[in-house]
Structure 1
């Protein structure tokens, strides 16, 4: 049986859909679409990937925790005490997750592309072509692994290639 079907649901949720990271497409107002590719350091454990995802989502879940604590504690303890406790939990949880990801957090590679409908921007078009190529390679590697065409070692090699190319891409733009 596949590892992804035997793990508990909460672990699958926290580990995400891709072992290599994430791909986000965000259409916004006025015809602007943002694309974001996040690639974790290849070879890290599932626990490290999960912690990185928790760290990257800290502003959202941390603020939700803060607000829930405020709602629950204000009637019981008063506004000032509730604020202190909520802020301490919010910042403390962030500090703990930050410390737990210290070894791998700096090695995460991120690439962003922005496209604007109706505007011809050669630099943005070039960046999007590069972004699309890298994202396509990662998704294709996942499909080939799921179909049994390649082994996990070959999949990781493909992720390493994209990971290294992302580093080269940021060096050439700087």
Structure 2
């Protein structure tokens, strides 16, 4: 009976470690190994933009982390700058504001420098839905967008289930990447 409990405990520990690893990777690198999907919701402007960004095949963990940092820093950096001002509330207001602006600017500069060689190789496809008087109008290649995102999602499911090797994953990723305009 103790063998059963120790195997169960070991299995639980292994599962928790795998979950922690996936969660950390998700926070640091984004939702997908191959790139990102950004959706700007329709607001008062009555248009919605969806952008598919595909990284060059072979993008490693460090490069994905740098690209994710570059993409998220404008919002995260604003929050960090706000907390910097709050943390330095004992300082003169001008000095605290200058420190917050410096933190924000350094984050922008770091993201820019870390990704300067990667950003030109990114492939992007945008699709815009615009509300018109009689319905909606689509700008962009919605059929290719739907096909590419469906293929990437299926590829992720196969990879996560262990049905696709790393080489097969990158080959399929490269096929989609090369098909992007």
Task: Tell whether the structures are fold-level matches, with TM greater than 0.5.
Answer: yes
Instruction: State how 1:159-174 maps to structure 2 within 5 Å.
Output: 159-166=173-180, 169=181
Q: Deviations over 1:112-143 (max 9, x none)?
A: 1012355354x62x611121111111112112
The structure whose Rg is larger is 2
CA contact 1:41–1:163 (8 Å) conserved in 2? yes
- With normalisation by structure 1, the TM-score equals 0.80
SS in 1 for 2:124: strand
CA distance in 2, matches of 1:97, 1:35: 23
Residue 78 of structure 2 corresponds to residue 63 of structure 1: yes
Which of 41, 65, 78 in structure 2 is aligned with 1:50? Answer: 65
What's the Cα RMSD here? 2.5
CA distance in 1, matches of 2:154, 2:48: 22
> Following TM superposition, by how much is the alpha carbon of 1:110 offset from its aligned partner in structure 2, in angstroms?
1.7
Match of 1:132 in 2: 146
Residue 165 of structure 2 corresponds to residue 151 of structure 1: yes
CA distance in 2, matches of 1:89, 1:116: 37
Match of 1:99 in 2: 113
Match of 1:172 in 2: none
Bigger helix share: 1
Pair 1:4–1:28, CA change in 2 (3 A)? farther
CA contact 1:38–1:111 (8 Å) conserved in 2? yes
CA distance in 1, matches of 2:19, 2:53: 24
SS in 1 for 2:121: coil
CA distance in 1, matches of 2:178, 2:18: 27
SS in 1 for 2:111: helix
Stretches of structure 2 that go unaligned for 5 or more consecutive residues are: 1-13
Q: Which moved more, 1:3-12 or 1:150-159?
A: 3-12
Which of 5, 20, 29 in structure 1 is aligned with 2:43? Answer: 29
> Following TM superposition, by how much is the alpha carbon of 1:4 offset from its aligned partner in structure 2, in angstroms?
5.7
> Following TM superposition, by how much is the alpha carbon of 1:60 offset from its aligned partner in structure 2, in angstroms?
0.6
Pair 1:4–1:138, CA change in 2 (3 A)? farther
Match of 2:96 in 1: 82
